[in-house]
Structures are given as structure tokens and as C-alpha cells.
Amino acid sequence: MCGIFAVFNYQGDIESYRQRALYLSKKIRHRGPDWSGCYTTKNHIVSHERLAIVGVDTGAQPIVSDDENLVLCVNGEIYNHKQLRANLKQDHVFKTHSDCEVIMNMYKEMDTDLVNHLDGMFSFVLLDVKRNRVIAARDPIGITTLYYGWNSKMPGTIYFASELKSLNEDCDKILAFPPGHVYDSETEQTTRWFNPDWFDGERVPSTPVDLKLLRETLERAVRKRLMAEVPYGVLLSGGLDSSLIAAIAARETEKIASGQIRDYKDDERYDESGPTLWPRLHSFSIGLPNAPDLIAAREVAKHLNTIHHEYTFTIQEALDAVSDVIYHLETYDVTTIRASTPMYLLSRKIKAMGVKMVLSGEGADEVFGGYLYFHSAPDDASFHSETVTRVKNLHYADCLRANKSTMAWGLEARVPFLDKQLLQLAMNIDPKDKRPNRAEGRMEKYIVRKAFDTSDEPDVKPYLPDSVLWRQKEQFSDGVGYSWIDSLKEVSLSKVSDEEFATAAQRWTKDTPTTKEAFMYRCMFEEWFPQEACTASVVRWIPRADWGCPEDPSGRAQKAHEAAYENGKK
């Protein structure tokens, strides 16, 4: 991934503004430490901070067409770029080996409809100089981050940036650019382009699960995300989601190392290029000493024969990092901050090894109803509707965490569970198949576990040890060590007095903190982002009180977690 900063229709001297634009773009250089580019034309400016993963030798941005009419900046990866090139009707000269340049030539043939053909994670800004037009778009679920802003003193000017921190000084209105949408300056409208049939949460699907197809679709999602020209690895918490991604990636890497030719004849949409470095998979985990995740991750790494890297942190190291984490996250959401801090620390360790890309397991809990509070769903329709809502809001929570915690150190995280084809399959499965039922012995994400259970396939090597395949859900912020969240609560009690806490409702009418921990985070957020406009893009997640769930978002607070201990299933 990379960092984008762009201003369309600047009301002033654009060349004089260039140094200001470079300063604002530099605020997100952590996203793209490999190179910087800036291009001005008329009263527009486009800047890019590059993290080179594909087309390393020639992929510098902004990409400018030979006639200087089109200027393109992209943050993300287009996995089907070779197929898209091959499907272009006209002859186009490509200036780079980048997976992103195809967007520019697709625009010439398809206009904004091009977004419907992209398979990947992306945010982009494309300037059409001749038409004095800018279009911007974001991937279906919001795996990449994008914001846009306005300055009331400059009507008609619009700003775009990968992170809030590049806009808050110059804009008095800032919004998160909605996933699955495209903006067109000619209409000044932001319209939805991603409209799958499952987006209607009131429509309850009835398609029974096909376990074989589910397994194959996830395997394909992982395979395409191994497109890279740099060292890569997997984040391995030892939970089901990251362990499955690691297991599939390990099998794919082994095929490459052994010289096997992968068969793509049945699906020509996807790029056949893959990793050429580190033929043995590297895995990474973090936690407090003897944390549940560390123990489980060791077992998985041994089973998969990965080169495993285990890191521990102290409570104090994590507490010291919280303020910086909030600066990078640009949110005050409690559960996001709790989970992001260990991920932020781990990402720094990984980048220090020279790794630029990792696979991660985000999205599975939303898609398959894997969080422990889903046990409390009153019926199938409610369960399904909640999964749809959670997937739609991923860009405020786990996608934001996965993107910004890693990109704080120039590390890209790819998330196979949010593959567009996998979503189409999984979100149309009958919720009766997806919903956990303790009385029937069906734990959370049962169908995912069953799809990769090879106990009745004697010729197939097990993907994971049974102890991990059937391990109860641990939210990442819990699994790194229970004392992490406990310590955050204790620190907030000492930092926030009763008198201060009593002023919360007067101080913040939006998202009023209801705990001292939330109050503490809100204060830290305000130190970095004091402008009122900065809160518009923040959404807090609170468990379903109407399902009888406690307010604390920790998985340990849910009844299903206690029940697993009581029944000896832990």
C-alpha cells in the first residue's frame, strides 16, 4: 500500500501551495517510505508516498499519461491486473510494471465503470486534465483507507488523503470516503458502485453451505494475495483465522519452492505471478510472556514448518505506545485501540526484518459470525443481519486497525477473508449453517472449521492440529495476554478522576465516553486531533445490549467465554 494526498481545484497559486502540499503528504510518509512523487497541473496537485511491492523497479507514482492528460495515484493492490490488461480493447502503452497503471487505461475505455472490474484492495484518485475532472474510488469493504475534506473558505475545492492527519489542518469538514463508492467532480456526487445481493441485511439467504467450495474459494483468495516481489510473511495469532491463512499460504509457498506448476486453467481471472523470495514461509506472533496466542501459535508454526518469529512485550511498553497508536489509528474506539497496540508493536518488529507484506485473518469473525457475542443472537434473521452490518462497518474497525497499525511502519497487510468472491459465497449461506449452537455442539465459525477438517480424508495432510482448528475464539486483544486489557482499565482509573469523568457529557456530546478507559482514549485523540471535524469519521463499536451483551467489547466479557471454561473446552 501507499499514501495519497491530492487537491482538486485549489483556489490560489498552486505552485506556491506545492511546499504546503509536500508537508501534508509527508505526514503519511510512514505509509510509503520507498519514494515520494508530486505532480501539479493547472490548479490541481497530486502527491504520492510509495511502498514498493509490485513493479518495484518502475512503479513510481503519480503515473502521468504520455499526453499529460491523465494523472493517477493509487494505494493498494490490483490482483487481476494482468487479466485486465489482456482484456483491454485498444492498444495501450504501459510505462510501468505496476499492477495499478491498468486503471488509467481502463478509464479511457470504461470511464468510472472500471471500478466494477477491479479485484483487489484499493483507493485511487485519477485526474482528467482535459475535462477538468477528478474521480476517486475505494474498494468494496474499505480495506484501504481514504478520506476527503473541504475548506469552507474555498468552495469548489476538494482534498483527498489516505489518512486524516493530512487533512485536519487545512479542512474544516472531513469525512471517511465510503467503501464501494466512486466520487465524480463533474456531478459532485459520491455514488455506490459495489451493490452485491447480500448487502440487504433484511434478506435472509437460504443457500446451504458447500464445504468443498468454501475451502477452495478461501484457498484461491490466499493464492492471489501472494502476488509480491518482496519478502512476505503471515501474522499468526494461533487463532483459527490467522492459522488457516498461514496453513494455506504455507502450502502455496511449498508448491513454489518445489517447482510445482499451479493450475489456473479453471480460473483465468487471477494473476499467476507469485512470490519469488523466501521459499519457506515466515510467521510472526506477539504477546505477553506465556500468552494464550503465543502458545497456540507455536503449535501451528511447528505443524506448518514455518520459520517462526515470536515476540513478547511488556505492559509498560504497550502503555507507552498507546498515544502513538491513537495518532496512527485516528480513532478513539476502545476495542480498536486495545487490539491495535500489540499489532502496532509487532509490525515494527516485522518491518525491521525487511518484510513488506503480510497476510492476516481479519474479517472472518464478521463474515461468519465468529465473535462470542453472536452466541446471543435471538434468531437466524438477527444473526444474519448482524453479520451484514458488521461487514459493512469493517472500515471503521478491523480494516482500519489492520491497515493503520501495519502501515504505521510501512508494512502492508492483505486480508483473504474479505476477498470479493469469498464474500459473495459466504454472505449468501443460510444463517442456520453459520450460527453457533452450543446444544448441538456447533461452536462459532463451525462451517469454516469443518471445511478444513480433513479427518475423513486420509490422503490429505491436516491443515491444522485439531487443538487449533477447534480452538475457541479469543479476540486478539485478549489472546495476547489477559493482563493487557486489565492493565488499561487500571491505568485509566488512576489517570481519570471522578470529577473529570463527571464532565464527559458536557465535554463531548458525540460519543460520550461511558468508562474511564474510553475517556482516557478520547483525551489522547483530542491532543492529536483537536479540530471538531476530526470526529465525524470516527465510529465506536458497542456490543448488542439488546441481545443481553455487556458493554465491554472484550470477548472475555461474553457468556460464551465463561461457558467454554466451565465445560472444559478451553
CATH number at residue 15: 3.60.20.10
Q: Please give the DSSP secondary-structure letter assigned to residue 471.
A: P
- pLDDT score, position 278: 58
The Cα 373–Cα 514 span in angstroms is: 20
Binding-site annotation, residues for L-glutamine:
99
Number of domains in the chain: 2
∠ CA 179-222-122 to the nearest 5 degrees?
Answer: 25
The Cα 22–Cα 26 span in angstroms is: 6
Residues with active-site annotation:
2
The Cα 55–Cα 228 span in angstroms is: 9
User: Can you say how many angstroms the Cα of residue 388 is from the centroid of all Cα atoms in its chain?
Assistant: 17
Contact 65, 104 (CB under 8 A): yes
Placement of cell 511498553 in the chain: 317
pLDDT digit string (tens) for 246-289?
999 999 988 876 666 444 334 443 444 444 455 689 999 999 99
> 331 and 381 in one domain?
yes
Q: What is the pTM of this model?
A: 0.93
CATH number of the domain that residue 448 is part of: 3.40.50.620
The amino acid occupying position 60 is: A
The Cα 487–Cα 524 span in angstroms is: 17
- pLDDT score, position 473: 67
> 252 and 183 in one domain?
no
- pLDDT score, position 54: 82
The amino acid occupying position 209 is: V
The Cα 134–Cα 62 span in angstroms is: 14
Contact 282, 306 (CB under 8 A): yes
What is the 3-state secondary structure of 332-350?
CCHHHHHHHHHHHHHHHHH
> 190 and 216 in one domain?
no
The Cα 85–Cα 66 span in angstroms is: 18
Instruction: Determine, yes or no, domain membership for 204.
Output: no
Instruction: Determine, yes or no, domain membership for 243.
Output: yes
> 278 and 129 in one domain?
no
- Name the stretches of the chain with pLDDT < 50: 261-276, 555-557, 561, 565-570
Instruction: Determine, yes or no, domain membership for 206.
Output: no
Handedness of CA 214, 220, 221, 226 (dihedral sign): positive
- pLDDT score, position 267: 42
Question: 289 preceded by cis ω (within 30°)?
Answer: no
Instruction: Determine, yes or no, domain membership for 202.
Output: no
Binding-site annotation, residues:
99, 235, 286, 360-361
> 45 and 163 in one domain?
yes
**Phi, psi for 78 (deg, rounded to 5):** -110, 105
> 176 and 288 in one domain?
no
> 418 and 375 in one domain?
yes
Q: Give the residue numbers spanning the domain of 140.
A: 3-195
> 191 and 339 in one domain?
no
CA 336, 168, 526, 50: dihedral to nearest 10 degrees?
40
> 152 and 228 in one domain?
no
The Cα 504–Cα 181 span in angstroms is: 35
Binding-site annotation, residues for ATP:
235, 286, 360-361
User: Can you say how many angstroms the Cα of residue 436 is from the centroid of all Cα atoms in its chain?
Assistant: 25
Percentage helix, strand, coil, to 5, in the chain? 45, 15, 40
Q: Of how many residues is the chain composed? A: 570
Residues 6+ apart with CB under 8 A from 67: none
Alpha helices for 258-333 (secondary structure H)? 292-304, 315-329
Instruction: Determine, yes or no, domain membership for 201.
Output: no
Instruction: Determine, yes or no, domain membership for 548.
Output: yes
The Cα 375–Cα 304 span in angstroms is: 31
- pLDDT score, position 292: 87
